[in-house]
A and B are shown apart, each in its own frame.
Chain A
């Protein structure tokens, strides 16, 4: 198993689009930042054929330090959840699924 990083994604943009390496890296950053900003504002980001990023509110609950057993309050918080599309779910299992080529936007 290898790890794909910003550098390799930028390299793919470079070879696919014909921009300079610098500009490819900048645009990748721009895309990630734009998605992050949207999520920061509490909004959902839906990438058809890939998945949906959304922010979920979690209420206050009582947790426990697993080591000491001491009860600690877990404060209300907002967490990011990613729901992969049917297409991506099928792809990672090596399946081609017809009829879900692209999900509506």
Chain B
């Protein structure tokens, strides 16, 4: 499913809303999560999951094609950890690791 399909479905399920408002709602959700991560904040949506940023130290990498050494600067990467409920739903209703 893509963002535009999500918007289309949401619009169909909410005929009282304008299409452009539905689009704005979906855009707002993901852009606010992005903005929070850009500030270094954490986004916690119980049952769904949590978005955070993780710091990665500077390292010396290699160009895989040429084998040349390249300096990779310190950076932060976005990270998502699924919440318990979603983790179970994705795994057919059981917590991964349980019998």
Contact = CB atoms under 8 A, between A and B. Distances in A.
A79 B97 CA distance: 11
Nearest to B99: A75
Interface in B1-46: 1-4, 6, 9-10, 13-14, 17, 21, 24-26, 28-30, 32-34, 36-38, 40-46
B78 to A, nearest CB: 4
Which range holds the interface residue count of chain A?
A: 35 or more
A55 B6 contact: no
Interface residues of B, number: 49
A74 B44 contact: no
Contact of B90 (A79, A84, A93): A79
A47 B30 CA distance: 8
Interface of A: 1-6, 8-9, 12-13, 16-19, 24, 27-28, 30-32, 34-36, 38-40, 43-51, 53, 55, 58, 74-75, 77-80, 82, 84, 88-89, 91-94, 105
8 contacts: A4-B41, A5-B43, A31-B10, A53-B80, A75-B96, A84-B78, A92-B34, A105-B4
